[in-house]
C-alpha cells in the first residue's frame, strides 16, 4: 500500500475498505478524568435571523439500482423519509445489466426494456421520494471494452461507449420514456447527473478528463433535445476535483450545465483535495472542500449555479467506530454548521446498509455507510438526522460554540448542541470506549423569552439511543435471532424528551463526548 499514490490508495480503499484501516496513536486512547468544560450560549429570541434551508437532509445515497426493488430497501427508505422528510435518492447502476434496460437485437439495432426502470422509479415515487438520476454505468453491449470494470462486487462497467451515436440514442430513449410515463412537470423536478467519480476508477476513458468531458457534452445535449426543462449536471468527481476545468470547458463549447456536483469524504487527504501538504481533521474536511468548490463556482463563467454534494460521509472505509457509532451525532451537527450557506443539497452516503459494493452484508454492524443497519436497526446517525430535522428554518445569531440556534415557523426555538471528539479507534473492529475528553456544560441564556417558557431535551450519545453498545454486549452475533433483532431495534429508538424548567431565562445542558442534543423551547 505504501508504494501506491495517495489518489490510487483512496480509490482502492473505496473498493476494499477493510484493508485500509489505520490505528490511532495509543495516547489518543488513554482514559483520563477531566473537569466539565463550561460554555456560555446567548440567544436573542426576537432576533431577525437568516433563512436556514435544510440542505443536509434533502437527499441520500443508496445501494445500486436493482436493490431498490427489495422489501428491506423500501422499508428503510420509508423509515428515513418519516424521520427527515427527504426529497431525493441517488444510486449507481440504472444502466447496469441487473436492470436490463439496453441490448442489441438480432438485426443490430438497439432494444430498450424499461420494465425494471419503471418498477424502480415507481417504488421511489410511491414513497414520496424523487430520483436523482446518476447516468451510469455502461451497458455491456454498448461498451468499447466490456472488460473495463470497477472492483465493486457487482462489477459495473466503466468503459466509454463504443459508439456515441448509440449512447446518445439510448439517453434520448431513456429520457423520452420517463417523460412519457411520469410527465414533464414531474421529471423536470428530477436531477440528471452524468456518471460517477470519473477521476477515479469508475471511468476508463483515456485521458480521463477529456473523455469524460466528451461523455458529459453528448449526454447533456441528448437530454436537452428531449426537453430543455430537464436538469443536467456534473462532474460528480471524487475529492472535489475538476470543477473549474469542467465549467470552463462547457462554457467554451456551449454545453448545458444546470448544477455542479462533487464528492468528498472525511478521510480524504489535503493533498488529494487541496493539493497541499497539511493535516485537515475529519470534522472539517468535507466542509472545507464544499467551501472551495463554492468559491470555484463563484469565480467561473456560471457564478450562480447550485452546488450539490452528491456524496459525502465521515469515512469511505468500513470503520464501526465511525459510521456505526455515536461519533456520528456531533460529526453531522458540525457538518451542518460548517457547510450552511455554501451548498444547495448534500447527500449522505448512504441511508441504508442494503448495500452490496463489498458483497452481501455478512453482519449487521461492520462500519457500513447506512443510517439503518441490516435487519432494520437504527444507528446513532439515523437518530442524529432525526434530531437535526427538528431544527427550524430561520437561523438565529448566537454567542457560543458548538451550537446552532433556530426558530421554527410556529415560533418554537430549536437548538442543536454537541460535544465533538475524534473517533477512539480506526480499525475494522469496534471498540466500546469513551473518548478521553471532558463533558461540556452548556449554560444557555435567552433574552426576550416569554415568562413560563419551558424546554424539551432530546439526546443521542453513547448512553442514549446507541444500538452498538447492546450489540457489543450480546457478543456481536453475525445473525441475530428474531428476539435479539427486536431488542436491538428497540435499543436504537430515541427516548422521549425530558422536560426542563427555564429559570430566569437560562437552562443548563451537560453533554459527554459524542453527545448531541436537540433543545426545544416552548413559550
pLDDT digit string, tens, across residues 160-199: 999 999 999 999 999 999 999 999 999 999 999 999 999 9
Is the pLDDT score of 28 beyond 80? no
Q: What is the pLDDT of residue 34?
A: 59
Confidence label for 37 from pLDDT (cuts 50, 70 and 90): confident
Q: What is the pLDDT of residue 2?
A: 31
Confidence label for 523 from pLDDT (cuts 50, 70 and 90): confident
Is residue 197 flagged as an active site residue?
yes
Number of CB atoms found within 10 A of residue 24's CB: 15
Say which residue the cell 450489540 belongs to: 471
Which of 134, 193, 296, 311 is catalytic? The answer is: 311
- The terminus-to-terminus CA distance of the chain in angstroms comes to 58
Is the pLDDT score of 23 beyond 60? no
Is the pLDDT score of 151 beyond 70? yes
pTM score of the predicted model: 0.91
Q: Pick the closest to residue 65 from 119, 112, 13, 128 (CA basis).
A: 119
Q: What is the pLDDT of residue 213?
A: 98
Cis peptide before 207 (omega within 30 of 0): yes
Q: SS3 letters for 5-55? A: CHHHHHHHHHHCHHHHCCCCCHHHHCCCCCCCEEEEEEEECCCCCEECCCH
Number of CB atoms found within 10 A of residue 362's CB: 10
Q: What is the pLDDT of residue 518?
A: 98
Contact assessment for residue 406 and residue 394, using Cβ atoms and an 8 Å cutoff:
yes
Confidence label for 404 from pLDDT (cuts 50, 70 and 90): very high
Which of 134, 197, 334, 357 is catalytic? The answer is: 197
Is the pLDDT score of 24 beyond 90? no
Is the pLDDT score of 6 beyond 50? no
Q: Are strands 88-91 and 59-61 parallel, antiparallel or unpaired?
A: parallel
Say which residue the cell 437530454 belongs to: 223
- Average confidence score pLDDT of the chain: 92
Query: What is the per-residue pLDDT across 331-371, written as a single tens digit (0 to 9) for each?
Result: 999 999 999 999 999 999 999 999 999 999 899 999 999 99
Q: What's the rounded mean pLDDT across residues 92-111?
A: 95
Contact assessment for residue 455 and residue 497, using Cβ atoms and an 8 Å cutoff:
no
Lowest model confidence (mean pLDDT) among 69-73, 129-133, 436-440, 456-460:
436-440
Adjacency order of strands within the sheet including 516-522: 50-51, 394-395, 403-407, 413-418, 516-522, 454-460, 498-501
Greatest Cα pair distance in the chain:
82
Q: What is the pLDDT of residue 9?
A: 35
**Burial class (CB within 10 angstroms; exposed 0-12, middle 13-18, buried 19+) of 292:** middle
CB-side neighbour CA atoms (13 Å) of 267 = 21
Q: What is the pLDDT of residue 264?
A: 98
Is the pLDDT score of 226 beyond 80? yes
Is the pLDDT score of 25 beyond 50? no
Bridge partners, residue 509, by sequence: 442
Q: What is the pLDDT of residue 66?
A: 96
Is the pLDDT score of 7 beyond 60? no
Which residues, 6+ apart, have CB-to-CB distance to 38 below 8 Å? 440, 441, 443
Is the pLDDT score of 32 beyond 50? no
The set of cell numbers assigned to 400 is: 457560543
Which residues, 6+ apart, have CB-to-CB distance to 516 below 8 Å? 329, 330, 332, 333, 384, 387, 416, 417, 418, 419, 459, 460, 461
Is residue 296 flagged as an active site residue?
no
Provide the phi-psi class of 245: left if phi over 0, else alpha when psi is between -120 and 50, else beta: alpha
Amino acid at each position: 500500500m505504501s508504494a501506491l499514490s495517495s489518489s490510487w490508495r483512496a480509490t482502492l480503499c473505496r473498493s476494499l475498505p477493510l484493508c485500509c484501516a489505520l490505528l490511532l496513536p495509543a495516547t489518543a486512547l488513554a482514559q483520563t478524568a477531566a473537569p466539565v468544560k463550561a460554555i456560555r450560549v446567548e440567544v436573542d429570541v426576537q432576533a431577525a435571523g437568516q433563512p436556514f434551508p435544510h440542505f443536509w437532509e434533502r437527499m441520500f445515497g443508496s445501494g445500486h439500482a436493482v436493490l431498490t426493488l427489495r422489501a428491506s430497501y423500501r422499508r428503510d427508505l420509508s423509515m428515513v423519509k418519516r424521520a427527515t422528510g427527504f426529497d431525493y435518492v441517488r444510486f449507481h447502476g440504472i444502466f447496469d445489466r441487473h436492470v436490463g434496460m439496453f441490448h442489441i437485437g438480432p438485426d443490430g439495432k438497439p432494444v430498450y426494456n424499461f420494465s425494471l426502470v419503471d418498477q424502480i422509479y415507481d417504488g421511489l415515487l410511491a414513497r414520496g421520494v424523487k430520483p436523482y438520476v446518476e447516468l451510469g454505468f455502461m451497458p455491456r453491449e454498448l461498451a468499447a471494452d466490456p472488460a473495463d470494470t470497477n472492483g465493486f462486487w457487482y462489477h459495473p462497467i466503466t468503459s466509454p461507449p463504443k459508439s456515441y451515436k448509440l449512447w446518445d440514442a439510448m439517453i434520448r430513449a431513456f429520457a423520452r420514456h420517463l417523460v412519457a410515463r411520469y410527465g414533464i412537470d414531474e421529471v423536470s423536478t428530477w436531477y440528471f447527473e452524468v456518471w460517477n467519480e470519473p477521476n477515479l476508477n469508475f471511468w476508463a476513458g483515456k485521458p480521463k478528463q477529456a473523455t469524460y468531458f466528451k461523455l458529459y457534452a453528448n449526454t447533456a445535449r441528448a437530454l436537452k433535445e428531449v426537453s430543455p426543462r430537464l436538469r443536467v449536471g456534473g462532474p460528480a468527481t471524487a475529492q472535489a476535483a475538476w470543477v473549474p476545468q469542467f465549467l470552463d470547458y462547457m462554457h467554451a463549447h456551449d454545453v448545458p450545465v444546470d448544477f455542479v456536483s462533487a464528492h468528498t469524504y472525511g478521510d480524504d487527504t489535503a493533498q488529494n483535495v487541496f493539493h497541499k501538504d497539511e493535516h485537515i481533521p475529519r470534522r472539517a474536511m468535507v466542509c472545507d472542500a464544499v467551501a472551495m468548490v463554492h468559491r470555484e463556482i463563484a469565480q467561473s463563467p456560471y457564478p450562480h449555479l447550485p452546488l450539490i454534494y452528491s456524496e459525502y460521509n465521515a469515512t469511505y472505509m468500513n470503520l464501526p467506530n465511525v459510521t456505526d457509532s455515536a461519533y456520528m451525532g456531533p460529526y453531522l451537527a458540525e457538518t451542518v454548521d460548517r457547510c450552511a450557506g455554501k451548498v444547495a443539497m448534500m447527500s449522505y452516503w448512504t441511508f441504508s446498509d442494503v448495500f452490496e459494493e463489498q458483497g452481501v452484508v455478512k453482519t449487521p454492524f461492520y462500519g457500513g455507510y447506512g443510517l439503518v443497519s441490516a435487519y432494520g436497526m437504527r444507528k446513532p446517525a439515523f437518530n442524529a438526522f432525526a434530531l437535526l430535522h427538528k431544527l427550524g428554518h430561520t437561523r438565529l445569531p448566537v454567542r457560543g460554540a458548538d451550537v446552532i440556534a433556530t426558530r421554527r415557523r410556529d415560533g418554537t426555538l430549536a437548538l442543536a448542541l454537541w460535544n465533538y471528539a475524534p473517533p477512539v479507534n480506526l480499525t475494522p473492529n469496534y471498540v466500546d470506549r469513551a473518548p478521553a475528553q471532558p463533558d461540556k456544560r452548556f449554560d444557555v441564556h435567552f433574552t426576550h423569552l416569554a415568562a413560563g417558557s419551558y424546554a424539551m431535551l432530546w439526546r443521542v450519545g453513547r448512553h442514549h439511543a446507541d444500538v452498538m453498545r447492546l450489540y457489543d454486549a450480546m457478543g456481536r452475533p453475525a445473525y441475530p435471532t428474531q428476539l435479539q433483532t427486536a431488542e436491538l431495534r428497540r435499543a436504537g429508538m430515541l427516548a422521549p424528551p425530558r422536560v426542563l424548567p427555564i429559570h430566569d431565562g437560562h437552562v443548563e445542558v451537560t453533554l459527554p463526548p459524542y453527545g448531541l442534543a436537540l433543545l426545544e423551547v416552548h413559550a
